[in-house]
Amino acid sequence: MQLISNLMGTDLRLVIYFLLGGAVTVLTAYFASHGKGMLSAFITVLPLQTAFYFLLIHAESGGQTVEEYAKSLLIFTPPWLCYVCIVLLGVSRVGISKSLAFGVFLFVILSVLIQKVLPGAKL
């Protein structure tokens, strides 16, 4: 935690954030391309990634911002689940591009609807 606090005043922190996010992307793609979809998915949703984001947000903005971020994650979970289901159901039927496009479109529409329905949930 001290290391993160020391980096807050420097632009080096942005490079570290970028490298850590890239490492998750590389590991996910690597294991998926080697037929280890379950491990790949596990790495993608590993709570350590979210825990790291919580630490960074706390270091940058404090506990209240972490609370807002955590609540927002819960709010956007249903649209994300719909997105994943659309890709799951569509990839073999209409192809990856169309299923991703429709899934992302649905995610955005549902997210906008949620922010209109829930008071205080603004994008």
Tens of pLDDT, residue by residue over 53-100, are 888 889 888 999 999 999 988 889 999 999 999 999 999 999 999 999
CA distances from 15 to 45, 59, 91 (A): 22, 16, 34
Q: Which domain holds residue 103?
A: 76-123
CA distances from 99 to 12, 33, 37, 103 (A): 37, 20, 18, 6
Q: Token pair for residue 6?
A: 């020391």
Based on the fold, state whether residues 97 and 121 are members of the same structural domain.
yes
Residue 35 inside a domain? The answer is yes
How far is Cα 75 from Cα 85, in angstroms, rounded to an integer? 17
Based on the fold, state whether residues 1 and 58 are members of the same structural domain.
yes
How far is Cα 59 from Cα 25, in angstroms, rounded to an integer? 23
Question: What would the mean pLDDT of 20-32 be, rounded to a whole number?
Answer: 85
Number of domains in the chain: 2
Question: What would the mean pLDDT of 46-58 be, rounded to a whole number?
Answer: 82
Based on the fold, state whether residues 8 and 55 are members of the same structural domain.
yes
Based on the fold, state whether residues 55 and 86 are members of the same structural domain.
no
